[in-house]
Amino acid sequence: MPQNNEYCIRTYIQGDENDLILLFNKAYDHFAGLVPRTLEYWKWCILSRPNLSEEGIAVVVNADKIVGYAAVDKSGNILELCYDPDHGRKKIVSMLLTWCIDYVRFQGGNSVSLNAPVQDGIIRQACKESEFTEEPFPTLFLKVQDLPQLLKKIVGQENRLKRDFQETVVFSLRKVPSSCPNHVVLQIQNGTAIVLMDDEAKPTIKIEVDLSTISECVFGSRRRLYKAILDGRLKVRPLRKVIKAMKILSLLQLRNPWYIPGADFG
């Protein structure tokens, strides 16, 4: 992609938001647990915050193109920081961190914090050079509100279930809230996988499980799936299809890394 070595940093001006949203979604669209940015959501989680002003949003520009930005509140919390991976990544991140540190110091703050993706070596190195201290992230608790919608999104990714499976998998769910169905069908036929709400479906595989356990299997490791089967929290009928059921469930596990930026908290 065409670029030059001239990067400049300035504060946000009205009209930048559409480019910032596109950049954020490009940089983080492969992460699980992330809320995709829309204009309305970005204005709500950034511009509407009482402790953050437009002067607290830094924008890096190269050849008239926005290639990075950061939003930091007056208390020193960097709520969003992202960069265009097709440009000078380390330089952009270093410029943004330096700007945020100076801005918070000017506001009278004595510390700066950033919740960054643990897999991002560029941000990690820039933070290390800026003398940030790395702290462990607090435990994250998840609750599935709509299992059918979650399964629909998973089976729509990467066509991951389009294999030689010819199965009608019925999930018989226990301990579900009143808003969630206790009967979900995953039909895998002729190279396609669809999620149905069909009480009359005849299963070739029936999986009896509570909502908490199936959530563990989707969001956790394969080891949790094995453990759920061994300790009886997840039961497969008929028993001879346990191996195939495990293969299907393992393909339903989320593979994307997790990241939740500070702007999505509070």
What pLDDT is recorded for position 216?
A: 85
Q: Has domain 147-251 been given CATH number 3.20.20.100?
A: no
How far apart CA 244 and CA 195 sit, in angstroms, is 18
What pLDDT is recorded for position 51?
A: 94
> 3-state class of 58 per DSSP?
strand
Tokens of 198: 């069909």
DSSP of 5-22, one letter per residue? S--EEEE--TT-HHHHHH
How far apart CA 26 and CA 180 sit, in angstroms, is 32
**35 compared with 170, residue with greater pLDDT:** 170
Top mean pLDDT of 174-183, 212-221, 233-242, 243-252 is at 233-242
CATH superfamily ID and name for 8-137: Gcn5-related N-acetyltransferase (GNAT) (3.40.630.30)
Tell the residue number behind the tokens 């992330």, with chain if given.
Answer: 34
Domain locations in the chain? 8-137, 147-251
Burial of 41 (0-12, 13-18, 19+ CB in 10 A): middle
Tokens of 73: 């509140």
What pLDDT is recorded for position 93?
A: 97
